Amino acid sequence: MNELKLKYGCNPNQNPARIYMKNRQLPIDVLNGNPGYINLLDAFNSWQLVKELKEATGLPAAASFKHVSPAGAAIAVPMSDTLKKIYFVDDLELSPLATAYARARGADRMSSYGDFIALSDTCDEQTARLIAREVSDGIIAPGYTGKALEILKGKRQGSYNIIQMDINYEPDSVETKEVFGITFEQGRNDINISEDLLKERPTSNQEIPADAQRDLLISLITLKYTQSNSVCYVKDGQAIGIGAGQQSRIHCTRLAGNKADIWFLRQNPKVLNLPFKNDIRRADRDNTIDIYISEDHMDVLADGTWEKLFTEKPEALNREEKKEWLGKITDVSLGSDAFFPFGDNIDRAWKSGVRYIAQPGGSIRDDNVIATCDKYNIAMAFTRVRLFHH
């Protein structure tokens, strides 16, 4: 098969729509469903991401994609009981691959709602059972066990998109795309992201432990497939905050940092112990927790509202408690797809526990950025590699 017709393009009015290859067979088999244009953009970008994460770390990897950027990405690092609880998987037996997806989706569950999933390894039954109970549009993986395929085919009344990727496929070295009827051509971004990129360390603190180096590689590989400008915070093998598609780098850093803060605040005992009624769905719990954490939106505690969600009225998590809790997060790694032009990015990153940074360098204000890192004793590497993705 060298052509696949699609229901429509990005929007229902954009017809006809298809994917095709002129001189080769498509490297995918659609095992179920009818994937759309955006589904396939997510599928092919996310597949490259998890493939490279697996190659870089040697561990199973997963990604949760929405609108051609990752909402989350992770490798199979064992989880604490707290993380299992906030990811709503404490009732499941998890394989390494299922652990990777639970981490990838759990980082930003609101953004992952209705995601497209990528797995680096054959989808097993435990991963399929986890996926089966979440709202998702589809999945791409190199294979599926018989039981996993049976489970996934039952999603969305049998219409769930299931794609099998040819692991031996290698794209051409030159790629093209059309915009406004004009063809663009460039060499494919096939740069290998490895620890070699972390050797130049201009800061006073040059100590980057092995786990932090791994996390920096995860951030950089994630950024390689995130719409630019982009910044990615990583801790313990998973992205905990991704800021994508912002015109200003400080806005990327703030956006990703705010997501990282919410991820950590979800682990606060007051949040962990919110007395939800048993019939409140996971997605509704996610939305409620997000509102509960927000300083400006305590509507869930208003009279007549909390009774619908909780068995009893919970205590508010006040500003001082949040500040104290966020002061405990540390050893976060941060990657940026292009240089930091000002030290304000470092100031903001520090507030979310960043202690290790990888960025290209090359700004006329590198000295200011280095000095700001030194102020906080942050270790920073200049990769000399820009990772814009559009």
Out of 67, 251, 270, 351, which one is annotated catalytic? 67
Out of 13, 22, 168, 390, which one is annotated catalytic? 390
- How many Cα atoms within 13 Å fall on the side-chain side of residue 170? 3
Structure tokens at 318: 């006040």
Rounded to whole angstroms, the Cα distance separating 280 from 316 reads 20
In residues, how long is the chain? 390
Q: Which of these, 366, 369, 368, lies nearest to 349 by C-alpha position?
A: 369
Interior angle at CA 167, CA 163 and CA 168, nearest 5: 135
> Does 205 qualify as catalytic in the annotation?
no
Interior angle at CA 28, CA 24 and CA 31, nearest 5: 140
Could you tell me the end-to-end alpha-carbon distance of the chain, in angstroms, rounded to an integer? Answer: 28
> Does 251 qualify as catalytic in the annotation?
no
Out of 39, 229, 268, 345, which one is annotated catalytic? 229
> Does 66 qualify as catalytic in the annotation?
yes
> Does 270 qualify as catalytic in the annotation?
no
Out of 54, 66, 84, 224, which one is annotated catalytic? 66
Structure tokens at 127: 């991963």
Active-site positions?
66-67, 229, 390
